[in-house]
Amino acid sequence: MFFELPDGSIKSVLPSRMPEHETAYAMTIHKSQGSEFAHTFMILPADFSPLLTKELIYTGITRAKSRFTLVADGKVVGKGIRHKTLRHSGLALRLG
């Protein structure tokens, strides 16, 4: 196993030397679409990003089967919920 240290160097540790632990996995909300998990954690950035939309938050929440944990600043969540996805494909113009 390899770990990056605060100074940027890499430390190698044999798995047999590691304390008891449980492996965890992370993925983006986009990558999780179509999947469900017993317990879902959604960790949002400290500052608002235009990529954070109402639809993205909804998708993240609905990945949880039975338990959901949100780690985020309330202001960032609020702004994200008010921010809708804007589509710029030009499809509506072509169909109109």
pTM flag (> 0.75)? no
DSSP code for 40:
E
Domain map (residue ranges) of the chain: 25-95
Please tell me the distance from the alpha carbon of residue 28 to that of residue 63, in angstroms, as a whole number: 11
Per-position pLDDT tens, the chain of length 96: 899 999 999 999 998 898 887 777 889 998 888 889 999 999 999 999 999 999 999 999 999 999 999 999 999 999 999 998 877 777 877 887
Q: Would you tell me which CATH number, out of the four given (3.40.50.11540, 3.40.605.10, 3.40.50.300, 3.20.20.70), belongs to the domain 25-95? A: 3.40.50.300
DSSP code for 18:
S
